[in-house]
Amino acid sequence: MTDTPAPRHIPDRLDKPLSSAIFSWEALLVVVAIAIFAINSFASPYFLDPWSLSDLTFNFTEKALIAFAMALLIISGEIDLSVAAIIALASTMMGMAVQAGAGTPALVAIGILVGLGCGAFNGLLVTRLGLPSIVVTIGTMSLFRGIAFIILGDQAYKGYPPSFAFFGQGYVWSVVSFELVLFLVAAIIYWFVLHRTSFGRRVFAIGNNPIAAQFSGVRVDRIKFILFCLTGLMSGIASVLITSRLGSTRPSIAQGYELEAITMVVLGGVSILGGAGSILGVVLAAFIMGLVTFGLGLLNVPGIVMSIFIGLLLIIVIALPILWRRLRGNS
C-alpha cells in the first residue's frame, strides 16, 4: 500500500541571479582597488610611472607571501601571530651563518628551514597538546623574537654577500622585481592548492566543523600541522626577502608584520571564524593595501594616518555587504 514516488531530481546548482556575482566580495575589492588606483593617479603626478608602480609592490609582497599561508590557516580555524617573530629569528640565524662564512645558497636554506622549524614548533604545540593557537602564538611571538634578542642584543649582523641582495632588491625583467614574481607564483600555487585540490577542500571542511571533518576521515591534526609549517615556511621566505632588502639584521626586524598580514587576509574576505575565503580576495587585498599606503605616501601623509585609512577600509569593506543586504531586506 505504500506508493513509491519517483525520486525528485535535485539540480547541481541553481542559476544564480547576476546580482549575486556583482556583489561578491572579490567584485567589491576590484571596485575598491580600481577606485584607489584612479584616485592615486589624479592625486599625484608621480603615481603613473613604471618605477613608482614597481616600487609600490615592495610595500606588500613580503607580507602577502605570509598572508597566503595565513589565509589557509585562518580558513582552517587557527591563527599564527608569531610570523613576524619567525622572520626575526630566521633573519638572526642567517646573520649568524654569514658570520660563519656561509654563502648565498646556504643562507636561503637556513632562512627557510628556520621558518619551517618555528612553524612546526607552533604546529606541534597546537595539535599535539591541543592548545588554542591564538594563545600559543602570542607566547611563541615573544619567545622567537626573544631568542633573536638574546643572540643579537644591541648588535646587528651585516655583511651579507652581494649575490644575496638579489632576492629583495633584484629585478627579473626591467621593472619587474624578483619579489613581485615570487608573489605572483605563490598566488597561483596557493590558489590552486586551496581551490582545486582535495587538500584545500579538507581545509575548508576543518574550518567549518573540525569534529565532523575528523569523523569523515580527514586527518585534522596532520593538516593543521602542515598549515602551521607552511606559514612558518612562508615567514622564512619572507625573512630571506626582507633581510636581503635591508642588507642587515636586527632583532627588531619586521615588527608589526603579523597584524598587517592578518589585516590583508581579513580584508581579502577570509572569515576570521574559519571556513570561508579565497586566495583571489587576499591578492586583491594585498594590492589595495599597497595602493593605499603608497598613494598616501606620495602625498607625504604620515604612516599613522595611512593606518587610519587601512583600519577604516577594513571595517567599511566588511560592513558594506552586511548593510547592503539589510537595506535590500527592508525594502
Q: Which of residues 190-219 bind other proteins (CB under 8 A)?
A: 196-202, 204-205, 207-209, 211-219
- Distance (Å, whole) CA 155 – CA 301: 32
Q: Which helix (H) or strand (E) holds 74?
A: helix 61-75
The one among 251, 269, 277, 281 contacting other proteins by CB under 8 A = 251
Q: With CB under 8 A, what is the number of residues at the site for other proteins?
A: 113
When asked if residue 44 is in the footprint of other proteins (CB under 8 A), the reply is yes
The one among 21, 134, 185, 188 contacting other proteins by CB under 8 A = 134
Q: Scanning residues 283 to 302, which ones bind other proteins (CB under 8 A)? A: 293-294, 297-298, 300, 302
Written as nine digits, the cell of 42 is 589624479
The helix/strand/coil state of 220 is: helix
When asked if residue 125 is in the footprint of other proteins (CB under 8 A), the reply is yes
When asked if residue 158 is in the footprint of other proteins (CB under 8 A), the reply is yes
When asked if residue 100 is in the footprint of other proteins (CB under 8 A), the reply is no
- Distance (Å, whole) CA 203 – CA 207: 6
Are the CB atoms for 57 and 64 separated by under 8 Å? no
When asked if residue 130 is in the footprint of other proteins (CB under 8 A), the reply is yes
Our CB check for other proteins shows the closer of 68 and 294 to be 294
When asked if residue 138 is in the footprint of other proteins (CB under 8 A), the reply is yes
When asked if residue 47 is in the footprint of other proteins (CB under 8 A), the reply is yes
Q: Which residue from 72, 123, 103, 77 is spatially nearest to 225, judged by alpha carbons? A: 123
When asked if residue 3 is in the footprint of other proteins (CB under 8 A), the reply is yes
Contacts 24+ apart (CB under 8 A), 180-184: 180/54, 180/57, 180/61, 182/61, 182/65, 182/237, 182/241, 183/57, 183/60, 183/61, 183/64, 183/65, 183/286
When asked if residue 23 is in the footprint of other proteins (CB under 8 A), the reply is no
Our CB check for other proteins shows the closer of 103 and 311 to be 311
Written as nine digits, the cell of 116 is 619551517
When asked if residue 228 is in the footprint of other proteins (CB under 8 A), the reply is no
When asked if residue 41 is in the footprint of other proteins (CB under 8 A), the reply is no
When asked if residue 131 is in the footprint of other proteins (CB under 8 A), the reply is yes
When asked if residue 170 is in the footprint of other proteins (CB under 8 A), the reply is no
Q: Which residues in 65-95 are b (16+ Cβ under 10 Å) and which e?
A: bbbbbbbbbbbbbbbbbbbbbbbbbbbbbbb
When asked if residue 175 is in the footprint of other proteins (CB under 8 A), the reply is no
- Based on its alpha-carbon atoms, the radius of gyration of the chain, rounded to whole angstroms, reads 22
The one among 124, 139, 171, 175 contacting other proteins by CB under 8 A = 139
Point out which span in 108-116, 171-179, 228-236, 305-313 binds other proteins (CB under 8 A): 305-313
Count of C-beta atoms within a 10 Å radius of residue 5: 6
Rounded to a whole number of angstroms, the minimum distance from the CB of residue 59 to other proteins is 6
Our CB check for other proteins shows the closer of 38 and 134 to be 134
Written as nine digits, the cell of 322 is 552586511
When asked if residue 162 is in the footprint of other proteins (CB under 8 A), the reply is no
